[in-house]
C-alpha cells in the first residue's frame, strides 16, 4: 500500500469522505501517525535486513546504509562471518576486510512523505497502519468517540502479536570465534 492508499483506507474506516479536499485536509496529520506506526512496528518486531557496504581503510560507515540502523547484527564476506569492533567514529565499525561486505542490521524504515511512498515494512503488515491511524484519530477526538479507539488499538496490538511470530529478529544465537 502507498501512503495515499493508507490514508484513504483510514478515512473510509472513520466514515469520512475520500475526495481530494478531505485527503489534503487530513494528509499531514495522518502521515505523522503512519510514520509513528511504522516506527512502533519496526521496534516491536526488531526488523532486520542485509545490505552491502564498501570497506574503506578497514572500516564500514553504518550511516551509508539505506535505512536507519539501530544495531549491527553481523558482517559477512562471501558467506563467512567476520568479527567487527568500534571504529574511529560513532557510525564506523572496524572489519578485517578490504572489499565489499554484507551487513545484517536492525533498522527503522525511512519516514514517508510523498503520496506514492511505500512503508519499509513487510507488505502484509501495511493494513495494521490503517488500524493504528484510526485508533490515534479516535483517541484525539472528543470524549464520546474515544472508546472507539480501544477497538482499533486492540486490532493493531493483535496484528502485531501475530506478526512477531513470522517477522523480525530471529531468536537463535550463534557463538563464533570461541576457540573451543
Instruction: Using the predicted structure, report yes or no on whether residue 119 has a pLDDT greater than 90.
Output: yes
Q: What is the pLDDT of residues 20-79, one digit of tens each?
A: 888 889 999 999 999 999 999 999 999 889 999 999 989 999 999 999 999 999 999 988
Quote the pLDDT of residue 179.
63
pLDDT classification of 168: cutoffs 50, 70, 90? low
Quote the pLDDT of residue 143.
77
Quote the pLDDT of residue 173.
58
Instruction: Using the predicted structure, report yes or no on whether residue 85 has a pLDDT greater than 80.
Output: yes
Instruction: Using the predicted structure, report yes or no on whether residue 171 has a pLDDT greater than 70.
Output: no
Quote the pLDDT of residue 113.
94
Instruction: Using the predicted structure, report yes or no on whether residue 170 has a pLDDT greater than 80.
Output: no
Percent of the chain past pLDDT 70, that is, above it, reads 93
Mean pLDDT rounded to a whole number for the chain: 89
Judged by average pLDDT, the poorest of 36-45, 76-85, 165-174 is 165-174
Quote the pLDDT of residue 108.
94
How large is the average pLDDT for residues 133-147? 84
The C-alpha cell of 131 is what? Answer: 488500524
Instruction: Using the predicted structure, report yes or no on whether residue 169 has a pLDDT greater than 60.
Output: no
Instruction: Using the predicted structure, report yes or no on whether residue 177 has a pLDDT greater than 90.
Output: no
pLDDT classification of 172: cutoffs 50, 70, 90? low
Cα gap 62→105, rounded to integer Å:
9
Quote the pLDDT of residue 33.
96
Amino acid at each position: 500500500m502507498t501512503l495515499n492508499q493508507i490514508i484513504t483506507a483510514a478515512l473510509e474506516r472513520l466514515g469520512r469522505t475520500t475526495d481530494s479536499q478531505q485527503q489534503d485536509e487530513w494528509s499531514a496529520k495522518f502521515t505523522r501517525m503512519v510514520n509513528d506506526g511504522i516506527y512502533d512496528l519496526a521496534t516491536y518486531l526488531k526488523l532486520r535486513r542485509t545490505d552491502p557496504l564498501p570497506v574503506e581503510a578497514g572500516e564500514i560507515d553504518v550511516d551509508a546504509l539505506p535505512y536507519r540502523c539501530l544495531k549491527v547484527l553481523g558482517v559477512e564476506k562471501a558467506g563467512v562471518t567476520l568479527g567487527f569492533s568500534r571504529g574511529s567514529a560513532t557510525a564506523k565499525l572496524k572489519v578485517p576486510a578490504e572489499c565489499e561486505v554484507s551487513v545484517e542490521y536492525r533498522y527503522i524504515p525511512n519516514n514517508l512523505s510523498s503520496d506514492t511512498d511505500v512503508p519499509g515494512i513487510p507488505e502484509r503488515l501495511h493494513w495494521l497502519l490503517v488500524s493504528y491511524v484510526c485508533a490515534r484519530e479516535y483517541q484525539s477526538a472528543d470524549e464520546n468517540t474515544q472508546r472507539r479507539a480501544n477497538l482499533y488499538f486492540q486490532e493493531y496490538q493483535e496484528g502485531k502479536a501475530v506478526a512477531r511470530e513470522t517477522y523480525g529478529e530471529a531468536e537463535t544465537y550463534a557463538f563464533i570465534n570461541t576457540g573451543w
